[in-house]
Structure 1
Amino acid sequence: MKEMNILIVEDEMIVAMMIKLKLLDMGYGFAGHATTGEDAIKMVKEVKPDLIIMDIFLKGKMDGIDAASEILKSYVVPIIFLTGDSSKETRTKASIANPVGYLQKPFMDEELEYVIESAFCKAKSPAFKQMAQDISA
């Protein structure tokens, strides 16, 4: 089976490195790390990750929701949103990008593993593929 490569989009370096180490321990590939929404869009074009873990609140002009929406216009890739804000307002705003999962900071290793496995299962579903086609249309 092909190693699944995961792109991390997180502007807090310590959090990004922690996630990277956990991904490698779990046997996943590391596709790269972006700190801004703009960089994430460029990296997706270059590395074509199998999954993106994207912080909702990024420094710069573009937040994670905007970056995810832009990425999904051109690529079918599942996105897990990472956030320290669990408010209903944030989750409602994030839902426009149709994430396959959410990860609340701080999180346990087991939560990270579960949300990734769940995301890959959802990404195989016909409903996800149809949603991705609808977004890119």
Structure 2
Amino acid sequence: MPDQRSTLSERLRVLIVEDETLVADYIADVVEEAGHEVAGFAATGEKALEALARDRVDLAILDIKLKGSMTGIDVAHAARDRAIPYLFISGSGEALTRQAAEATGPLAFLQKPFNQEELVSVLRTTAEREATSARAFAPDAKGQEG
């Protein structure tokens, strides 16, 4: 699958996959206050998959329980297949659900209600990693890869 991530240096394009509008809006506020861009919102797994395939996304923030037949864990598998990093923000306290989510290899798992500073920290770390990765593959002044 093609890499759907953008090449923006340290500003991430973030897809928010959350079926509770107030929570999605709050996450968007945190993302934007941290200097990043919201690439879009999806309340269902199906809409999230459409956005991952269509839009440039550097990071997906996923709730586990969504409207519709798909879960955030299903979306995580699709994001991973596209080399798009993701994290979970979930209210699910079920041990098996958390184990299944963590088995997909997320950047983080934040429990609702989540701490804003934790999310900002994950955003910062991801942006720094993306910027370092982009610089590693950017051509230098002579047009050669650096």
- Partner in structure 2 of residue 50 of structure 1: 58
CA distance in 1 between counterparts of 2:112 and 2:14 reads: 18
Shift of 1:101: 0.8
Equivalent residues of 1:103, 1:115 under 8 A apart: no
Name the TM-score, length of structure 1 as normaliser: 0.81
Q: Does 1:115 align with 2:114?
A: no
Percent pairwise identity: 37
Which residue pairs with 1:100 in the alignment?
Answer: 107
- Find the residue that maps to 1:14 and give its secondary structure: helix
Name the counterpart of 2:4: none
Shift of 1:122: 6.5
User: What is aligned with 2:140?
Assistant: none
Give the paired residue count: 125
Residue correspondence of structure 1 range 16-27 to structure 2 within 5 A: 16-27=24-35
Deviation (angstroms), 1:120: 4.5
Equivalent residue number for residue 134 of structure 1: none
Counterpart of 2:103 in 1: which secondary structure? Answer: helix
Gap runs ≥5 in structure 2:
1-8, 134-146
For 2:12 and 2:51, how far apart are their aligned partners in 1?
16
Deviation larger for 78-87 or 56-65: 78-87
Q: 1:116, CA displacement in angstroms? A: 2.2
Structure 1 gap ranges (5+) = 127-137
TM-score for the superposition, normalised by structure 2: 0.76
Q: Secondary structure at 2:41's aligned position in 1?
A: strand
Cα distance in structure 1, aligned partners of 2:36 and 2:44: 22
Structure 1 residues 113, 37: closer, same or farther in 2, change over 3 A? same
* Aligned-pair CA distance for 1:45: 1.1
Task: Tell me the CA shift for residue 3 of structure 1.
Answer: 2.0
Shift of the alpha carbon at 1:70?
A: 2.5
Structure scoring higher RCO (CA < 8 A, sep ≥ 6) equals 2
Is contact 2:79-2:86 (8 Å) kept? no
Between structure 1 and structure 2, the one with the greater Rg is 2
Aligned to 1:135: none
Instruction: Give structure 1 regions of 4+ aligned residues with deviation exceeding 6 angstroms.
Output: 122-126
Cα RMSD over matched residues? Answer: 2.1
C-alpha distance 105-50 of structure 1, shift in aligned 2 (>3 A): same
Counterpart in the other structure of 1:86: 93
User: Distance in 2 between the 1:48 and 1:102 partners?
Assistant: 23
> What secondary structure is seen at the aligned counterpart in 2 of 1:22?
helix
Check the 8 A contact 1:79/1:100 in 2, yes or no.
yes
Q: Determine if contact 2:60/2:87 at 8 Å carries over to the other structure.
A: yes
Normalized per residue, the structure richer in helix is: 1
